[in-house]
Amino acid sequence: MTSTATLIDIGVNFHSKQLTGLAAELIERAKSANVGAILATGTSLESSRSELALAHQHSGYIFSTAGVHPHSADGWTTAIREDLLTILADPACVAVGETGLDYNRNFSTPANQRRAFAAQLEMAADVRKPLFLHCRDAFDDFYAMVKEAVAAGAHGVVHCFTGSQDEAMAFAELGLDIGVTGWVTDLSRGQALREAVEFIPIERLHLETDAPYLGPKNAKKRRPYNEPANLVWVARAVAELRGMDEHAVIQACTSNSVRLFRLPWLT
């Protein structure tokens, strides 16, 4: 039952309160669970800096992203933009984001979210790095904005996709990749995603834990937080729902992540 294919976790929030001080043990357990590389998610200027520092400490294993999450979009300034561009010039920082729109609770106003998102879409074009995208309850505005960016040459992944079959197919047709988390193991609120997951083209699929959030419900051992070592449970659920071999799913997703984020090939 143990998987030996190498996984890549494209979303881990090491900067979150729940994971503070745990990076070393999380990485150790991730390695024993066949996770061959991790993308550490920057969601603010501060966390984009700390995730890059972690990537430097674990060079070749951890890579980072740099951006401002829609929750924090009210604080967007041109000074932040300049500082993010400095971080993005570093080869260990492989994507622009987390950025996007989240109208679920509107921690920042929708207008400010669109402003910060538009600026980051432009940055991705400037630095020629892929986007790490977040979209929640904002499909129409989000789709219109990314469509324009894609037409101008942008590419990226809609991380923690939780939408419907129609939304998955719309993103895939646009040429965007799609990241799936432990949401897919949630039999109540994950139902739409469970039905949509087989319609995501395999060459566009990525696996992520979004740790410490969204612990896979099918995991045998559970800690109070989710961690990259649990990624295989997401792979397993995806494989079951698609009627595919688990190794084949992992191999495809790993190769997609290596391609999208231009990671060094895993040995």
* Separation of CA 67 from chain center: 12
Which structure tokens are listed for 48?
């984009």
In angstroms, give the least distance from the CB of 100 to Zn ion. Answer: 7
The residue among 34 and 102 lying less far from Zn ion, judged by its C-beta, is 102
- Cα separation, 179 vs 157, in Å, equals 6
* Separation of CA 90 from chain center: 19
In angstroms, give the least distance from the CB of 134 to Zn ion. Answer: 4
Q: What share of the chain is helix, strand, coil (3-state, %, to 5)?
A: 50, 15, 35
Sole binder of Zn ion in the list 15, 134, 204, 236 (CB under 5 A): 134
Q: Of residues 141-160, which lie at the interface with Zn ion (CB under 5 A)?
A: 160
The residue among 34 and 179 lying less far from Zn ion, judged by its C-beta, is 179
- Cα separation, 61 vs 59, in Å, equals 6
Cβ(175)–Cβ(201) under 8 Å? no
The residue among 129 and 134 lying less far from Zn ion, judged by its C-beta, is 134
In angstroms, give the least distance from the CB of 221 to Zn ion. Answer: 25
The residue among 80 and 160 lying less far from Zn ion, judged by its C-beta, is 160
Residue ranges of E strands in the chain? 7-12, 35-40, 62-66, 93-102, 131-136, 156-158, 177-180, 205-207
Q: What is the DSSP string of 73-142?
A: GGG--HHHHHHHHHHHTSTTEEEEEEEEEETTT-SS-HHHHHHHHHHHHHHHHHHT--EEEEEES-HHHH
The residue among 145 and 160 lying less far from Zn ion, judged by its C-beta, is 160
Cβ(264)–Cβ(32) under 8 Å? no
Applying CB under 5 A, does 236 fall inside the site for Zn ion? no
In angstroms, give the least distance from the CB of 230 to Zn ion. Answer: 17
- Contacts with Zn ion by CB under 5 A: the residue count is 2
Q: Of residues 48-77, which lie at the interface with Zn ion (CB under 5 A)?
A: none
Cβ(151)–Cβ(173) under 8 Å? no
* Span near Zn ion by CB under 5 A; candidates 56-64, 128-136, 219-227, 249-257: 128-136
* Span near Zn ion by CB under 5 A; candidates 132-140, 214-222, 236-244, 252-260: 132-140
In angstroms, give the least distance from the CB of 248 to Zn ion. Answer: 27
Applying CB under 5 A, does 204 fall inside the site for Zn ion? no
In angstroms, give the least distance from the CB of 113 to Zn ion. Answer: 13
Site residues for Zn ion per CB under 5 A:
134, 160
